[in-house]
Amino acid sequence: MSGFLNDIKMTVVGLLGPVVLRLLCLTLRIEEQPAGSSRKLFTEGPRAIIAFWHATMLVLVYQGRGQGIRVLISRHTDGEYIARVIKNMGFGVVRGSSTRGGAGAMINMVKEAENGRFLAVTPDGPRGPREVAQSGIIFLAKKTGLPILPIGLGYSNCWRLPSWDGFRIPKPFSKVVLAFGEPISVSPGMGEEELENY
């Protein structure tokens, strides 16, 4: 019975989550630096692996909705909730992480890149340490040939959840700044030791 109730809970979150997120984000003052970065990225390119800390994904899901971005999501239970929400906002999901299903997930992400998709990864996910990048994103950049595009977020006012990542939820009517960094290229010829030290 508990499994059945859990399935119902996940279904409800998957359906209501996108509605709540849209309503929240409509109240926010979202500023991109440089201005218009997301529009330019999706209309002019280049394709990239979009990288951001696990705690900051909420507003980025709203900004990137409907673009068919392929997101690497863990196989943990919390990953299932995230997967259901973002699928209903126009994202594709590849399941796996550094600890569960990692090799298969890497292969599938490479295939998505070969099919012309943008990729998105939280380098510190799925379990941390918080804001410490793991090596997986570097290997993914090497295999796909796509540059890594880092995006940082700042909040004028937000809640922080008592989770491993300190997940941030902007408060209604607050300001959120998205800072787009310069693309970081990883050479296909880079050796394993160089990748680990990158």
Rounded Cα gap, residues 100 and 79, in angstroms: 12
The segment with the largest mean pLDDT, out of 70-74, 93-97, 103-107, 126-130, is 70-74
Domain range for 56 is 2-197
Residue 27 has pLDDT above 90, yes or no: yes
Assign 198 a pLDDT band (cuts: 50, 70, 90): low
Mean pLDDT lowest among 44-58, 70-84, 90-104, 112-126: 90-104
Give the number of domains in the chain: 1
Angle at 68 between CA 168 and CA 107, to 5 degrees: 90
**What is the value of pTM for the model shown?**
0.91
Q: CATH number of the domain at 8, please.
A: 3.40.1130.10
